[in-house]
Amino acid sequence: MNAFKPHLRGLPSYPYKKVEARIKLDQNESPLDLPPSLKQRALERLAALSWNRYPELHAEDVRVRLAEWLEWPFEGIVMGPGSNLIIQGLAQASNCVLDTAPAFPHYAFSAKIAATPYRAVRLGERFELPLEGLLGAMEGEPGVLFLPVPHAPTGALFAQAEVEALAEQAVRSGWLLVLDEAYHQFSGTDYRPLAKANPNVALLRTFSKAWGLGGIRAGYLLASPEVAAVVQNLVPPFGLPAHTAAILLTVLEQPGYALERAQATALERERVYQALLEHPTWRAYPSHTNFLLVRTPDAAAAFAGLLGRGVLVRRQDHYAGLEGCLRVSVGTPAENDAFLEAAFALAEVGHA
Ligand SMILES: *Cc1c(COP(=O)(O)O)cnc(C)c1O
């Protein structure tokens, strides 16, 4: 078979394997489904839709509502069925892709499938932003720099002054700095003021985490109208399904629950972090997200030990610099207790 471009043959697939477990802390999802009253309203909206009809061309109905709620120009919003597809569009559009190592793996994967040159700069020992390295890399041909803020998969939050230094360099050298705010509700940060003042900065957001809508598939880009116009062309027409739009319009009538839940999750995250300080061999890193990165002496043994006790987490030890690391989503208080209990029980039997 020679139908495909050579660079696409034999690519490894996305590193995710479904595993059944009683307690699922592996995908940074919200542990809670939509509030029941909202879900009921969404179902009524779905029933009233004509399923034989195409949805809006570019999710105009949702973008009008988002524009009003976020005080962002309508022309600068691009919707996608998950922000992953927008990442792919950005990678396809750009001369080159730059990110940090480690980082959310879909940036590198998107560059690879688009055959866009890709480079990563290693984070510091304690996951500090490699500012000098990034500024240096941005002296080259301009492209897109993806930076999760707060950072995934480390949970670190970079200083605003450092992010602003990257934004200034983006202006000087013609780059687009894309701040991926997938977890911003858990850190309480919001880079809209920077992005509004600087057209070389765009923001990426998702409904998959704080909103509790991972199954619905929706994310969006906030950018200048010029940047949005390019990215919009790389997202398929009628790409946001009518049912997704109906559910988004429903939650956007009552968006307060997402922030309330994110704040509760942040408190739980701190409780779990504090509890892990007592663990004899595991070390959690400070986090500003809805997950904790935990360094263990042996990631394979820790993962298997937790799973044997019904707790599913995500291994991260395949990333350079994350040897021994697991990523644990913050769940309900009961789920977090079950994780902590298993973590300490493993230490007791010498398996961690
Ligand atoms: C979860 C996550 C996303 C969300 O992707 P969707 O396709 O919108 O579900 C984006 N970026 C980062 C860093 C994430 O962790």
pLDDT tens for residues 274-325? 999 999 999 999 999 999 999 999 999 999 999 999 999 999 999 999 999 9
**Cα–Cα distance between 104 and 181 in angstroms, integer?**
12
Give me the mean pLDDT over the 236-248 stretch. Answer: 98
Model confidence at 82, in pLDDT bands (50, 70, 90)?
very high
Give me the mean pLDDT over the 244-252 stretch. Answer: 98
Residue 237 pLDDT > 90: yes
Name all residues whose Cβ lies below 6 A of ligand 1.
28, 82-84, 104, 148, 152, 180, 182, 206, 208-209, 219
Q: Which atom of ligand 1 is nearest to the CA of 218?
A: 8
Give me the mean pLDDT over the 100-117 stretch. Answer: 97
Give me the mean pLDDT over the 30-38 stretch. Answer: 96
Q: Which atom of ligand 1 is nearest to the CA of 152?
A: 13
Give 297 Cα–ligand 1 centroid separation in angstroms: 28
Tell which one of 26, 29, 79, 84 to mutate to probe ligand 1, the residue whose CB is within 8 A of the most ligand atoms: 84
Give 45 Cα–ligand 1 centroid separation in angstroms: 26
- Please give the pLDDT value at position 178: 99
Give 138 Cα–ligand 1 centroid separation in angstroms: 24
Return all residues near 38 (Cβ < 8 A) that are at least 6 apart.
250, 251, 254, 257
Give 28 Cα–ligand 1 centroid separation in angstroms: 9
List the domain boundaries for the chain.
6-30+256-349, 46-251
Give 84 Cα–ligand 1 centroid separation in angstroms: 6
Q: pLDDT tens for residues 50-66?
A: 999 999 999 999 999 99
Residue 224 pLDDT > 80: yes
Residue 342 pLDDT > 90: yes
- Please give the pLDDT value at position 194: 98
> From the CA atom positions of the chain, what is the Rg in Å?
21
The answer to whether 127 and 285 are in contact (CB under 8 A) is yes
Tell which one of 146, 149, 206 to mutate to probe ligand 1, the residue whose CB is within 8 A of the most ligand atoms: 206
- Position of tokens 């360099």? 169
Tell me the CATH architecture of domain 6-30+256-349.
Alpha-Beta Complex (3.90)
Model confidence at 350, in pLDDT bands (50, 70, 90)?
confident
Q: pLDDT tens for residues 322-340?
A: 999 999 999 999 999 999 9
Q: pLDDT tens for residues 252-268?
A: 999 999 999 999 999 99
Pick 21 or 350 by higher pLDDT: 21
Residues paired with 222 in a beta bridge: 77, 203
- Counting residues of the chain whose pLDDT is more than 70, the rounded percentage is 99
Residue 28 pLDDT > 70: yes
Q: Which atom of ligand 1 is nearest to the CA of 208?
A: 9
DSSP codes joined into one string, 130-182: -HHHHHHHTTSS--EEEEESS-TTT-----HHHHHHHHHHHHHHT-EEEEE-T
Residue 341 pLDDT > 90: yes
- Counting residues of the chain whose pLDDT is more than 90, the rounded percentage is 95
- Please give the pLDDT value at position 352: 59
Global confidence as pTM: 0.97
Domain 46-251, CATH 3.40.50.12780 — does that match?
no
Residue 40 pLDDT > 80: yes
Q: Alpha helices of 204-288 — where are they, by DSSP H?
A: 225-232, 242-251, 256-276
The residue type of 249 is L
Give 217 Cα–ligand 1 centroid separation in angstroms: 10
- Please give the pLDDT value at position 1: 82
- Please give the pLDDT value at position 351: 60
Mean pLDDT rounded to a whole number for the chain: 97
Tokens of 267: 């408190």
Tell which one of 100, 154, 180, 204 to mutate to probe ligand 1, the residue whose CB is within 8 A of the most ligand atoms: 180
